[in-house]
Amino acid sequence: MSLAEQTRSAVREQPFLFDALRAGVLNYTAAARFLEIDGDEDAIATALRRFGEELESYDEESVHATVTMQRRVGITEAPNPDALLQLGDVGVEPDGPHTAISASGDVPPGALGCICQRLRAAGIELAAAAGVGGELSLVVDNDDAVDTLRIVEDAVGSLPVQNGD
């Protein structure tokens, strides 16, 4: 495998580097040092620069989505036909200590990952989460509901519409 192929592979294993490269904000030399690739640091930085030039950048257009919140929901681990929402084997039902927050509309596939990273940085734990087909749903403790709502609204409103890789 060539040094350029090794570099591309290593970047794809580090999503934050891929996103920074695609956004045009990556420090090539620092990233070359960070990646565990045997080779000349300058050559790796050059491979990163070339890879970044080949990637399509994000469109400037933002997503358009509706974010809603429903307080006092509970989590059930068995499929429940009366559940408000099913997230795999977990159901969300009325009357509980949690809040469900949903986004629907023009929500890109990577939105759930981005939101989960922001929530983790804010110290907010998820009780459940799922995203599919332009929609995502999160369940958090009622005490974290307002902060989560703000984070989801901000993240969804600032996510760029993505072209293909």
> Measured between alpha carbons, how far is 130 from 92 in angstroms, rounded to an integer?
12
| Residue pLDDT, tens place only, 59-108 | 555 567 899 999 999 888 767 777 777 777 778 888 899 999 999 988 87
Task: Detail the DSSP E strand segments found in the chain.
Answer: 65-76, 85-87, 90-94, 98-105, 126-132, 135-141
Asked if pLDDT for residue 9 goes beyond 70, the answer is yes
Domain positions in the chain are 3-54, 65-158
Angle at 56 between CA 54 and CA 59, to 5 degrees: 160
Share of the chain above pLDDT 90, in %: 47
Helices and strands: H and E segment counts in the chain: 6, 6
More confident residue, 155 or 144: 144
Segment 111-125 mean pLDDT: 92
pLDDT, residue 100, reads 93
Mean pLDDT of 21-49: 92
Mean pLDDT of 40-50: 94
The model scores a pTM over 0.85 = no
Considering the domain 65-158, what is its CATH architecture?
A: 2-Layer Sandwich (3.30)
